[in-house]
A = this chain, B = another copy of it.
Amino acid sequence: MKKDPQLGLSSQFVRPDEIKTKMLPTGMEKGLMRLILKNLGNPDVNVELWDGETVFPRKQQAPGIMIKGRSALWRLLTHPTLGFGDEYSVGRIEVEGGIVPFLDRFFAAYDKRQKESATILRLFDLYRRVRGNPVSRAKGNIHHHYDIGNDFYKLWLDKEMVYTCAYFAPNVTTLEEAQAAKMDLVCRKLRLKPGETVIDAGCGWGALALYMARHYGVKVRAFNLSHEQVAFARERAESEGLASQVEFIEDDYRTISRDANGQYDAFVSVGMLEHVGLKHYGELGGVVNRVLGPNGRGLIHSIGQNQFIPTSEWVDQRIFPGGYPPTLRQMMDIFEPYDLSVLDVENLRLHYAETLKHWLDRFDNQLDRVRDLYDESFIRAWRLYLAGSMVNFSGGHLQLYQVLFTRAQNNSLPVTRDDLYH
């Protein structure tokens, strides 16, 4: 457990009142700011520059954003998402009226923006290339997601430590219930039967593997690369008397396929595909193909998107290095080569928006305890990430696909979904 996460950005954190304005915004800088706003579809927010006077468009009731120095403006211009994320984290950009309302307006405008700004985009792109990426040295400053430590996640995840989209089934309101409902939905879709064997690839803190064993009587081999998560999961399996049913393996899920020969009844992966990388999808399909028996079923649950859009620079460099939410088309790289039949795709986008709302609320309720562990720039970055994800899901920019599949010749499953909902 790292109590001192050595956040590179933390030393840069500045309180608004500490900022020294050396030079007033020039006419060119004001013009550039207007261009940025136009390029973003003129979101319904007020922007104040560092002289404290220049504000546009100065609308009543709109959330406000303050750009507290020249460097913040230029970073916005050259690396829009990374610049915003970093400058917000260290306090050189401030948001008034809450980050969620601001992001909501920002994305609403972005959806409707005129696409004729291609020339401006090209100019920005050219500038970016000429200028290079001087901020790359900041890379790695914010700890990668899964190194942060269990204690941090315990503060705001549900008690089972499920760090993926929950399922708000009818009459479900709490996050705890919704995570259990998600795990149960996954089990029902997989039509697990007692005594069956399951591979869980990317098992997190082990909640799903333990749930499957406890409620469906299956034997699970669960893979995870994170030492801390596996240790936590093994302890839970022991304390709940499930250690004979659930084996947690601290290794890459791909190692299973070395000695797998179609002897498993199910393959499940919840929230791992985002980290697999497009070029490894065929390899993932190959593992599934070697693992699954003739009537085996598989379920892959992943963040996705409607269209191929690269991950924002900020999320890629600060939050999920190498992460990418695939399109359904790209996910077919897993199934097609092995003649696996897609049986069911369900898009749970709005459930992730709701899940993130719960996480953000819990995070905010635990702010004092988070502050004991981490400094202000980490907290601001994390809130931006949770709020930004929430707004991306609620605004339709991100999807959540649950894909159920089986071998082409498997005729042994129920032919309707009625059993899932009764």
Residues of A bordering B, CB below 8 Å: 111, 167-170, 306-308, 327-329, 332, 335-337, 339-351, 394-397, 399, 407-411, 415-418, 420-422
Copies held by the complex: 2
**Distance between A412 CB and nearest chain B CB, rounded to angstroms:** 10
The residues of B that contact A348 with a CB separation of less than 8 Å are 415
Contacts known (A329-B336, A408-B306, A410-B396); A417 close to B346, Cβ less than 8 A: yes
A390 to chain B, nearest CB (A): 13
B342 touches A328 (CB 8 A): yes
- Taking A396-B410, A418-B169 as contacts, is the C-beta distance between A347 and B343 under 8 angstroms? yes
Question: How many whole Å from A179's CB to the nearest CB in chain B?
Answer: 15
The residue of chain B having its C-beta at the shortest distance from the C-beta of A396 within the complex is B408
- Given A344-B345, A396-B408, A396-B410, check contact A421 B417 (CB 8 Å): yes
Residues of B within 8 A of A417 (CB): 346, 417, 420-421
Q: How far is the CA of A346 from the CA of B168 in the complex (A)?
A: 21
B residues less than 8 Å from A351 (CB atoms) = 415
Chain B residues with CB below 8 A from A411, complex form: 350, 394, 396
Residues in B neighbouring A415, C-beta threshold 8 A: 168, 348, 350-351
The one of B332, B345, B397, B409 that contacts A327, using a Cβ cutoff of 8 Å: B332
Chain B residues whose C-beta falls within 8 Å of the C-beta of A335 in the assembled complex: 306
- Measured in the bound complex, the distance between the Cα atoms of B409 and A179 in whole Å is 25
Min CB gap A353→B, angstroms: 9
Interface centre among A167, A329, A397, by most chain B C-beta atoms within 10 angstroms, is A329
- The docked-state distance in angstroms from the alpha carbon of A8 to that of B25 is 84
Measured between C-beta atoms, what is the minimum distance from A106 to chain B in Å? 14
Partner of A306 from the list B168, B306, B339 (CB cut-off 8 Å) is: B339
Partner of A349, one of B167, B341, B347, B397: B341
A63-B167 Cα distance, complex, nearest whole Å: 51
- A340-B416 in contact given A329-B329, A394-B411 (Cβ < 8 Å): no
User: When the two chains form their complex, are residues B341 and A342 in contact, meaning their CB atoms are under 8 A apart?
Assistant: no
User: A191: shortest Cβ distance to chain B, in Å?
Assistant: 14
A189 CB to nearest B CB, Å: 11
Nearest CB on B from A376, distance (A): 33
Min CB–CB distance A405 → chain B (angstroms): 9
> A336 with B306: in contact, given A328-B342, A341-B396, A351-B415 (CB under 8 Å)?
yes
The chain B residue with its CB closest to the CB of A422 is B421
> Is the beta-carbon distance between B347 and A342 smaller than 8 angstroms?
yes
Interchain CA distance A107-B408 in the complex, whole Å = 13
* A-B pairs with lowest CB-CB distance, top 10: A396-B408, A345-B345, A421-B421, A329-B332, A396-B409, A343-B347, A350-B415, A306-B339, A329-B329, A170-B418
User: Complex: how many Å from CA A410 to CA B421?
Assistant: 24
A347, B344: Cβ atoms closer than 8 Å: yes
Cα distance, A9 to B306, chains bound together (Å)? 48
List of B residues within 8 angstroms of A168 by Cβ: 415-416
